[in-house]
Structure 1
Amino acid sequence: MFEKLESTVARYQELTRLLGDPALFNDNQRAVELAQEHASLTELVETYQRYRQVVAEQAEAIALLNSDEEPDLVALAREEIGQLEQERADLEARLHRLLVPKDPNDERDVIVEIRAGTGGDEAGLFAADLFRMYTRYAENHNWKVDLLNSHESGIGGFKEVIFEVRGRGAYSRLKYESGVHRVQRVPTTESQGRIHTSTATVAVLPEMDEVEVDIRPDELRIDVFRAGGPGGQSVNTTDSAVRITHLPTGIVVSSQDQKSQLQNKVKGMQILRARLYDAERRKQNEAQEAARRSQVGSGERAEKIRTYNFPQNRVTDHRIGKTLYQLETVLTGDLDEFINELSTADQAERLQAASESDE
Structure 2
Amino acid sequence: MACIERASPALNQILLKLYSADKPMEIDHHLYEFGSVQYHILSQASNPLVAYLSISASSLCHGVLQNELSSYTIEMVKRLCPEVVEIVEPSREGYQLTLRLNLNQIPLGKDYVKVIRDISTFHSVILSSQLKEILWNVNSDVTMQEMYKPIKLAYHPREPFFIIMQPQRIIAVFPIRFKEKSDVIIATAFFQELVDVGSSDKWAKAPPCTWSAIPPPELRGETLEDLSTNGGFVTFDISSRHIEGKRLDKTVWNLLNFNAYVRYHVKSTKGYIQRRMRKRLENLVEVLHQTNSEENGQTKQHQATGYRYKKKQVRSSKYNILKQRWGNFGRKMKMHFRLRIHGFGRFRQRWLRFPKFSSKGYTKLE
TM class by shorter-chain length? under 0.3
Larger radius of gyration: 2
Higher RCO, Cα 8 Å, sep 6+? 1
Compute the TM-score of the two structures, normalised by the length of structure 2.
Answer: 0.24
